[in-house]
Amino acid sequence: MGVTLGVVVLTMGNRPAELVALLESVRAQEGSESGARTVVLGQGIELPELPGWVDAVELPENLGIPGGRNAGVERLRELGGTDVLVVLDDDGLLPRTDTFRLIREAFEQDPKLGIASFRIADETGFTQRRHVPRLGKSDPMQSGPVTTFLGGGHAIRMSVIDQVGLFPAEFFYAHEETDFAWRALDAGWGIDYRADLVLQHPRTDPARHAAYYRMTARNRVWLAKRHLPAPLVPVYLASWIGYTLLRRPPLAGLKAWWGGFFEGVRVACPPRRPMRWSTVRRMAQLGRPPIF
């Protein structure tokens, strides 16, 4: 039968028209008759009426992005028969009808491929620099191996989740993908950025969220404490302090950032399982050692 897909979409209920459009683009995928089970999870809200082929799950509260995704994974496990998890933002859209076919082919052809990261583009086809998971001035149209992936659109082999565990629910928002990516890399899996897997998504600024600065800082510290060899922890955190100061955030944002940073230092986020030095070397060879 080949690789079977399971789709997870989280929603806060504030993008009903976009959600309907996304589901229509999922339904339009080539080979949809062969199965791409779709789960939509309402984060503490009552879901609107959804198509009959969608499995609707209303969570009792907002579990955050990683917690909501974990609930989606568990639902797919209950339903059974999913080889690859596909996560899509509820305000995204699949402009091509061959995306799911390309995902199936990618995971069939490479048994060590653990994660495939989509290219996120706006309505004009433009991809923001922050949506290319590589350092430097990188061409968004260039596919290849990377060390992390994009939250808005990605595919994960379910056996990777079985091996390395779920997303870190404690993070709630920000850097949960990097946490998962580092664990997958340390377990020997590959991550590919695929320019031909396109998720159309409105152009946004992440700093528009009030909690952005606090959570990004806190979760950066937790990343380091959880996964980096001890000598790299201060190097990684110092590089992010410098990067943040160079970007000159607004005073209120900088205050929130420092608050989140010291929260991350003060509050534990176990378990601590530092990656192997061979994984550090592999990440460096891929162009992004875990110090930036």
Q: What is the pLDDT of residues 246-277, one digit of tens each?
A: 988 899 999 999 999 999 999 999 999 999 99
Q: With pLDDT > 90 as the criterion, what percentage of the chain qualifies?
A: 86
Half-sphere exposure of 125 (CA within 13 A, CB side): 4
Q: Are strands 190-200 and 144-145 parallel, antiparallel or unpaired?
A: antiparallel
Q: Print burial letters for 10-34: b (CB count within 10 Å at least 16), e (below 16).
A: bbeeebeebbebbbebbeebeeeee
Q: Quick check: 33 pLDDT over 80?
A: no
- The pLDDT of residue 186: 98
- The pLDDT of residue 209: 59
Residue of 68, 23, 194 whose CA lies nearest to 121: 194
Kindly state the average pLDDT of the residues 217-244. Answer: 97
Q: Which helix (H) or strand (E) holds 64?
A: helix 64-79
Give me the phi and psi of 196, to 5 degrees please: -85, -5
Q: What is the pLDDT of residues 157-183, one digit of tens each?
A: 999 999 999 999 999 999 999 999 999
Q: What is the pLDDT of residues 39-65, one digit of tens each?
A: 999 999 999 999 999 999 999 999 999
Tell me the pLDDT of the chain averaged across its residues: 94
